[in-house]
Copies of this chain bind each other. A is one copy, B any other.
Amino acid sequence: MAEDLEAFRKDVRAWLADNCPPEMREPLKDVEDRCWGGRRFKFKNEAQKLWLDRMAAKGWTTPEWPKEYGGGGLSREEAKVLRAEMARINARSPLDSFGIWMLGPALLKYGTEEQKQKFLPPIIRGEIRWCQGYSEPGAGSDLASLQTRAEDRGDHWIVNGQKVWTSYADKADWIFCLVRTDPAAKKHEGISFVLFDMETPGVTTKPIVLISGNSPFCETFFDNVRVEKENLVGTLNKGWDVAKYLLQHERTMIGAMGQAAGVRPLGQIAKSTVGMDGEKLADTLLRTDIARLDVDLMAFKLAMERTTDRIKRGLSDPAAASMLKYYGTELNKRQYELVMSVGGAEALEWESERSRKGDDARTWLRTKANSIEGGTSEVQLNIIAKRILNLPGA
């Protein structure tokens, strides 16, 4: 077993050496360098496209998905080896995708065989870019009160309503969307999970400018949009189950974001901004905060590992994803407050090359959304109070 893994590691290393273009081993200069794929995506350069195509051909954009749909079919251990080997040579992610992170897992669990055959391969190859249509103006944390209506017209629905916080809706090809299919049912009942093309007549999007200066989200409007019934995922009026399953994935992902980002160690950066006093940072208060953060970052990484291991053993807590989401996002916000503190005046520059066009400041501001999107910290705490602690009235 361990020997098989070592053999696999060797193969991977050799393949990566041959196939990962040198340009794809450079750190991202900015968010614009990320590869999102999709019908309208413009590759930065030849290398980016090559890297995506080669990885997709092996199924390694989704290492653990089944081979039959074009995935890598790797075991969890093998996937870990692949990630480690990619990290070793600083290989960039070949494809960032809500299709991979969110829709895919839901389809694998709730999709029909036809749906899997139809939608998974283009996700894996980065041909179709997806966005998520959950939140509405009046239904942020309170998703169950959503208003977007789908009227039954026999073989299709006609959808009317409005979504907000649709990630990159202006750049996405398709949307997975919660709509109300039974207006008489209340709250969590009567909601369905459907898929449709963003080019369907009646769909319009309007980007939202964020405090970070970026516009990764849109308002999305549906005006008599036709949705085929074959594009219903899961059971009619039971879309809430799919959404919940998917939210857990999203929560774990958002919670883990700070980890994945690969922030430079703050203790090292601080050396140049506040200087040393003997063997310690001259600003001993900043040193204290960094040391305490480092302790917590390391512990949180272990908590993520432990949660995965517990799930594998069938020991998962009902609200483990809520815990990771809550703790991880709050930690990430704390981390970026310190990034700003360590960076000092330089990190406050918004447009200079010196500050990589305000990269630290923009990311700092972006982290503030972590504890809001995918269920606020307050909602996660409610869930823990109810499902883990069984507190009355929670």
Q: Which residues of A contact B (CB under 8 A)?
A: 277-278, 280, 284-285, 287-289, 291-292
Residues of B close to A278: CB separation below 8 A? 277-278
B284–A288 contact, CB under 8 A? yes
Q: List 14 A-B contacts (CB under 8 A).
A: A277-B278, A277-B280, A278-B278, A280-B284, A284-B284, A284-B287, A284-B288, A285-B287, A285-B288, A285-B291, A285-B292, A287-B288, A288-B288, A288-B289
- A281 CB to closest chain B CB, in angstroms? 8
- A271 CB to closest chain B CB, in angstroms? 15
Q: Which residue of chain B has the shortest Cβ distance to A288 in the bound complex?
A: B288
Residues of B close to A287: CB separation below 8 A? 284-285, 288
Residues of B close to A277: CB separation below 8 A? 278, 280
- A389 CB to closest chain B CB, in angstroms? 18
- A153-B284 Cα distance, complex, nearest whole Å: 70
- A278-B278 Cα distance, complex, nearest whole Å: 9
- A333 CB to closest chain B CB, in angstroms? 20
Residues of B close to A292: CB separation below 8 A? 285
Q: Which residue of chain B has the shortest Cβ distance to A286 in the bound complex?
A: B288
- A289-B291 Cα distance, complex, nearest whole Å: 13
- A24-B237 Cα distance, complex, nearest whole Å: 80
- A280-B283 Cα distance, complex, nearest whole Å: 11
Interface centre among A287, A288, A291, by most chain B C-beta atoms within 10 angstroms, is A288
- A292-B289 Cα distance, complex, nearest whole Å: 12
Residues of B close to A284: CB separation below 8 A? 280, 284, 287-288
Interface centre among A285, A287, A289, A292, by most chain B C-beta atoms within 10 angstroms, is A285
- A285-B287 Cα distance, complex, nearest whole Å: 8
- A47-B376 Cα distance, complex, nearest whole Å: 64
- A42-B385 Cα distance, complex, nearest whole Å: 53
- A131 CB to closest chain B CB, in angstroms? 36
- A278 CB to closest chain B CB, in angstroms? 7
**Given A284-B284, A285-B287, A288-B289, 11 other A-B contacts at CB below 8 A?**
A277-B278, A277-B280, A278-B278, A280-B284, A284-B287, A284-B288, A285-B288, A285-B291, A285-B292, A287-B288, A288-B288
Q: Which residue of chain B has the shortest Cβ distance to A277 in the bound complex?
A: B278
- A277-B280 Cα distance, complex, nearest whole Å: 10
Residues of B close to A280: CB separation below 8 A? 277, 284
- A260 CB to closest chain B CB, in angstroms? 29
Residues of B close to A288: CB separation below 8 A? 284-285, 287-289
- A277-B278 Cα distance, complex, nearest whole Å: 9
- A213 CB to closest chain B CB, in angstroms? 33
Residues of B close to A285: CB separation below 8 A? 287-288, 291-292
- A280-B282 Cα distance, complex, nearest whole Å: 10
- A3 CB to closest chain B CB, in angstroms? 46
- A203 CB to closest chain B CB, in angstroms? 38
- A294 CB to closest chain B CB, in angstroms? 12
Residues of B close to A291: CB separation below 8 A? 285
- A346 CB to closest chain B CB, in angstroms? 24
- A292-B284 Cα distance, complex, nearest whole Å: 12
- A363 CB to closest chain B CB, in angstroms? 26
Residues of B close to A289: CB separation below 8 A? 288
Q: Which residue of chain B has the shortest Cβ distance to A279 in the bound complex?
A: B277
- A284-B287 Cα distance, complex, nearest whole Å: 8
Q: Which residue of chain B has the shortest Cβ distance to A291 in the bound complex?
A: B285
- A285 CB to closest chain B CB, in angstroms? 5
- A288 CB to closest chain B CB, in angstroms? 4
Question: 6 closest pairs, A vs B, by CB?
Answer: A284-B284, A288-B288, A285-B288, A284-B287, A280-B284, A284-B288
- A277 CB to closest chain B CB, in angstroms? 7
- A274 CB to closest chain B CB, in angstroms? 13
